Amino acid sequence: MVQTALVAAPIFADPLWEPNDFDGVYVRLNDDATNGCWTNIRETKKYAEDQLALAGFNVIDEPEFKAELPHAPHPLLRENIAEYNLHVRASREDSGVCIGYLNSTFRGAIAPGYDQSKLIVGQIGFPYVWTVWDSKNLNEYMFDQVKDTIEAWIKLGIDLDISKTN
């Protein structure tokens, strides 16, 4: 019944976020992989930057954070930028297999299009986590994770329309 009511109600919607909502996005990689489980870190970062640019983001260098004042805000909180964070935690088992997980998130502070008086701070959208294992390393999985999660995150922001009712 709820679904019928939602479909029948007049809805005017805007996406929660789109790439052009941000002045820039940067890539941050967290490498908690050991024993050669992730070896293409530079290539992964470049690939992520390329995928973000293809998706319509303005890719920037990670801003330098200097706590000049005792409570200086992080650049994510004082600029209209986002961080694409990719965290890898993996280790090689006695059998030689690398086992771990890949976790990617978008972080930032954004005033979404549906209500410019609100601010989303911290993680934007959902985290994407994959448990992975391979006898060699997790390098190829990284490219798949980057491409899939950037596409999914943009789709989520566009598909999660917030209804405006007057």
Number of domains in the chain: 1
Q: Residue 81 domain-assigned?
A: yes
Q: Residue 67 domain-assigned?
A: no
The DSSP result for 37-90, as a single string, is S---HHHHHHHHHHHHHHTT--B-PPPP----STTPPPHHHHSSEEEEEEEEEE
pLDDT in tens, the chain (166 residues): 333 323 333 343 566 677 887 888 999 999 999 999 999 999 999 999 999 999 999 999 988 776 666 666 666 666 778 899 999 999 999 999 999 999 999 888 766 666 667 666 778 778 889 899 999 999 988 899 899 999 988 888 777 654 443 3
Q: 63 is written with which tokens?
A: 């801003």
Q: Residue 2 domain-assigned?
A: no
Q: What is the CATH number of the domain that holds 34?
A: 3.30.160
Per DSSP, the three-state class of 122 is strand
For residue 153, give the nearest of 111, 124, 119 by alpha carbon: 124
